[in-house]
Homo-oligomer: A and B are copies of this chain.
Amino acid sequence: MSGERLIYMPLGGAGEIGMNAYVYGYGLPGQERLIVVDLGVTFGDMDGTPGIDLILPDVAWLAERRDRIEAILVTHAHEDHVGALGLVWDKLRAPIYARKFTAAIARLKLDERGGVPDSALNVVGAWPEVLEFGPFKVGFVPISHSIPESAGLVIDTPAGRVVHSGDFKIDPTPVVGEAFDPALWAEIARPGVRALVCDSTNVFSPHPGRSEATLADNLAALLREAKGMVVATTFASNLARLQTLANAAEASGRSVCLLGRAMRRMVETAIATGLLTQFPKTISPEDAGQIPRENLLLMVTGSQGERRAAAAQLSSQGYMGLSLKEGDTFLFSSRTIPGNERPVARIMNQLSEKGVDVLDDAGGRYHVSGHANRPDLETFHDIIKPQFLIPMHGEHRHLREHMKLGEAKGLRGIIATNGMMIDLSGNAPKVAEFVEAGRTYLDGGVLIGGMDGVVRDRMRMALNGHVTVTLIVDEKDEPLGEPWCELMGLPSKGRSNADLVETLEAELGQFINRAEKRTLRDDEKLERELIRIVRQTSQAEIGKKPEVTVVVSRLA
């Protein structure tokens, strides 16, 4: 064992919320056998990544070491843990392991995004079942979260035991799925834990987390007292919430109708895998249209304001023949993820215009978080008593705050962000190496590098508009006519109140008429000058410098 080491390296999720991807390795430096924990996505936005459908970790480092990867383990079925799997699997080609429901959801995503052979996806049982992956022995330990069957991982290595919490909360009554079991975790901790790699997302939430079960009464009262139709939106994967809402619907004599593909698919999968056994029979949108509104609960997708989801559709023109009106109630049984405030507010205002009463999480009556809050993190630290604490899953400020929280109670550790390879073998965790840990974008149907410049060019066009300049030069290097301009995304008139196109063409024409032969002969110089004139003239006329495409055609 001399010279062998245990390493941990996040490739995503440590420096952001979302896009989780963690690597563990054991062996001689540079020859470690590897396991990958989670391969998730995060979502783009108009602000920073216009046109990008999904953002995933750059797996180039892993792909180059493909022969050393023993397995890919998935802790739970949320997009930010499983969503990238189908997109990058063919670069890694390692076997995937997950619990039953997680594997079923993963299978749906794998089929949508790329293809992974059936044989690559393996269903594993829960702890105390343990699987061997090279030098690693790994158990999937049930832990409560906002989706059933979440697992924390117990990773035994020759250098000691690592607990990888996965996303979790401390919930003794999670409604659906397994409760957090302190005795079980104490048992796991007993032999000693070298490192706890721990969820950090809610470290700034000061109060102890509340159980999913605490919502039942509030939701029941809401559905009982509401006069018209009730629409509730939450993440489709929050099956406990769907169950609680369905129970409340039954108690108040409301039929349940599921709207949105993700919602239907998630419930179907949960019933098929035996996770939901008490879910009431749902009705179709067509049937829903036939029964009195006060006897209806719609559960719909789109809690984050997604434009094409059921919630947004219902707030505007309606969805599948159903529409809302004065006296109806719309419940956001969800938290708005930072960055989504505007689309969510847009829906709320559209509902307000229809006279629909909107309820949201303000006050916490209708939503609880799926992550461990500050005091719950301390509880977990106390149970696991790790030699090292390594905060994971959070922006830098979350990781740092989590580390400070641990340090206040005497824990040692390190803040490891994406691409930092940490050696966990010694007396203190230390940085072994910095690895390039970038982002890959799914752009339409193509994967591109986050630093390729494609998105940068798009943002520039969005901010500055675009001008096309064409010029024809004949066989004798004489301009044939004058340059032409076409605008896109620019005002048609400038400060002088003249047509911007005409002003640009006049300036460009003047330049061309005076240009020396050697300029007209030199494609690069000519292009540079034409761009300069467009940008300079535009700056004077409209106060901004557009992006410019120049095409000089030379007659042969």
Contact = CB atoms under 8 A, between A and B. Distances in A.
Interface of A: 15, 45-48, 50-51, 204, 206, 338-339, 341-342, 345, 348-349, 351-353, 355, 358, 362-363, 395-397, 399-400, 443-446, 448, 452, 454-455, 457-466, 468, 470, 472, 480-481, 484, 486, 488-491, 493-495, 541-544, 547, 549, 551, 553, 555-556
A493 to B, nearest CB: 7
A479 to B, nearest CB: 12
A145 to B, nearest CB: 23
Given A51-B544, A446-B541, A481-B556, 14 more contacts: A204-B362, A338-B341, A338-B342, A352-B397, A358-B397, A446-B494, A446-B495, A454-B490, A454-B491, A458-B463, A459-B462, A466-B466, A470-B553, A549-B549
Max chain B CB contacts within 10 Å: which of A47, A50, A452, A459? Answer: A50
Nearest to A555: B480
Contacts of A472: 472, 553, 555
B489 A458 contact: yes
Contacts of A443: 491, 542-544
A491 B452 CA distance: 8
Nearest to A442: B543
A449 B465 CA distance: 16
Contacts of A460: 489
A468 B471 CA distance: 13
A interface SS class: mixed
Contacts of A349: 15, 395-397
Max chain B CB contacts within 10 Å: which of A355, A363, A461? Answer: A461
A339 B458 CA distance: 21
Contacts of A490: 454
Nearest to A474: B555
A446 B493 contact: yes
16 contacts: A46-B50, A48-B342, A338-B342, A348-B395, A348-B397, A358-B397, A445-B542, A445-B544, A446-B541, A454-B490, A457-B489, A458-B462, A461-B461, A472-B472, A484-B553, A488-B547
A484 B444 CA distance: 23
A358 to B, nearest CB: 7
A468 B468 contact: yes
A464 B15 CA distance: 29
B338 A454 contact: no
A491 B446 contact: yes
